[in-house]
Amino acid sequence: MGSSLLPSPAFSMAIFFAVCAFLCVFPEPALAKHARVTRHYKFNIKSQNVKRLCQTKSIVTVNGQFPGPRIIAREGDRLVIKVVNHVQNNLTLHWHGIRQLRSGWADGPAYITQCPIQTGQSYVYNFTITGQRGTLWWHAHISWLRATVYGPIVILPKRHVPYPFPQPFQEVPIIFGEWWKADTEAVISQALQTGSGPNVSDAYTINGLPGPLYNCSAKDTYKLKVKPGRTYLLRLINAALDNELFFSIANHTLTVVEADAVYIKPFKTQIVLITPGQTTNVLLKTKSKSPKAPFVMAARPYVTGPAAFDNSTTTGLLEYETSSVKANKNKNKKKLPLLKPVLPKLNDTLFSMNYNKKIRSLANAKFPANVPKAVNKNFFFTVGLGVSTCSKNQTCQGPNNTRVVAAINNVTFVQPNTALLQAHFFNQSRGVYTTDFPANPPFKFNYTGTPPSNIAVSSGTKVVVLPFNTSVELVLQDTSIIGAESHPLHLHGFNFFVVGFGSGNFDPKNDPKKYNLVDPAERNTVGVPSGGWVAIRFLADNPGVWFMHCHLEVHTSWGLKMAWVVLDGKRRNQKLLPPPSDLPKC
Q: What is the CATH number of the domain that holds 523?
A: 2.60.40.420
3-state SS assignment for residue 11: helix
pLDDT tens digits, one per residue of 170-205 = 999 999 999 999 999 999 999 999 998 999 999 999
Among residues 133, 162, 191, the one where a domain terminates is 162
Whether residue 487 lies inside any domain: the answer is yes
pTM of the complete model beyond 0.75? yes
For residues 158 and 169, state if they share a domain.
no
**CB 418: neighbour CB atoms within 10 A?**
18
pLDDT recorded at residue 393: 85
| Residue 169 shares a structural domain with residue 144 | no
What's the pLDDT score for residue 397?
85
Residue 579 lies in a domain: no
Q: Looking at the structure, do residues 511 and 406 belong to the same domain, yes or no? A: yes
114 plus 172 within the same structural domain: no
> What whole-number distance in Å separates Cα of residue 539 and Cα of residue 149?
31
In a domain, 132, yes or no: yes
Return the number of other C-beta atoms located less than 10 Å from residue 56's C-beta: 9
Name the pLDDT band for 322 (thresholds 50, 70, 90).
confident
| 21 part of a folded domain | no
Tell me: do 312 and 461 sit in the same domain. no
- Domain limit, last residue, from 162, 193, 219: 162
Checking if the pLDDT of 163 tops 60, the result is yes
* The pLDDT of residue 329: 53
Spatial separation of the C-alpha atoms in residues 434 and 414, rounded to whole Å: 11
- The model's pLDDT over 400-447, given as tens digits with 9 standing for 90+, comes to 899 999 999 999 999 999 999 999 999 999 999 999 999 999 999 999
- Looking at residue 330, its pLDDT comes to 52
pLDDT exceeds cutoff 70 at 24: no
| Residue 57, domain member (yes or no) | yes
Give CA–CA dist 344/321, Å, rounded.
30
Domain assignment of residue 517, yes or no:
yes
Q: Provide the residue range defining the domain that includes 99.
A: 34-162
- 326 is a domain residue: no
Say yes or no: 126 and 174 in one domain: no
If one counts the domains in the chain, the total is 3
Residues 296 and 423 in one domain: no
Is the domain of 241 the same as that of 356? yes
Residue 77 sits in the same domain as residue 196? no
Residue at 16 is within a domain: no
Residue 348 and residue 390 share a domain: no
User: Do residues 88 and 208 share a domain?
Assistant: no
173 DSSP β-pair partners = 235
The pLDDT score that the predictor gives to residue 391 is: 85
145 and 261 share one domain: no
Cβ burial, residue 334 (10 Å; 0-12/13-18/19+):
exposed
